[in-house]
Each structure stands twice: as C-alpha cells, then as structure tokens.
Amino acid sequence: MIELFNSINNAFCGILGINSYLQGVIVMTCINVIAVLGMSVLTGFTRLFSFGNAGFMCGKAKNNLKTPPKIPNDP
C-alpha cells in the first residue's frame, strides 16, 4: 500500500514539478487551514470560545521542558 502511495505521489509531483520542500510547505499549509477552519466553526457559528487548544499546547510545552543537568558535588 505504501509503495502504491509513493508511486502515485512521485508521478503527481513529477508532472507538476513539485520538489520535496514545496510538498512539505503544502502539507503544513493544509494542516493549518484545517485547524483554522475548525476554530472558525467553533467560535463563529456556535459562539463558543474554548481554551482547550491553548491548554493542550501549554501542556505539551510544559512536558517538553528539560530539567537542568545536575552538577555533582566535588569532595
């Protein structure tokens, strides 16, 4: 299945002349568009405001913080 996807992807990108960098930019743009449309539906149509997304991002940032290295005491 992955070989089929890769062959279709290579043929499609080869016809349009899209390199891997531009393909990455297009994928990230599509992900951000989906996120923005989701927030637009939540805040625009339902008139609800949620801090859930910000909470998930803050929690992930907190978990990614690294503690400073411990310096052993020299006798």
pLDDT digit string, tens, across residues 25-38: 888 898 888 878 87
Does residue 49 contact residue 43 with C-beta atoms inside 8 Å?
yes
Specify the 3-state DSSP secondary structure of 73: coil
pLDDT of residue 54: 66
pLDDT of residue 57: 63
CA distance linking residue 42 with residue 40, whole number of Å: 5
Instruction: Indicate whether 43 pLDDT > 80.
Output: no
CA distance linking residue 70 with residue 75, whole number of Å: 15
Mean pLDDT of 44-59: 68
Question: Which runs of consecutive H residues, i.e. helices, occur in the chain?
Answer: 2-16, 20-40, 52-64
Angle at 49 between CA 40 and CA 60, to 5 degrees: 90
Average pLDDT, the chain: 75
Instruction: Indicate whether 68 pLDDT > 60.
Output: no
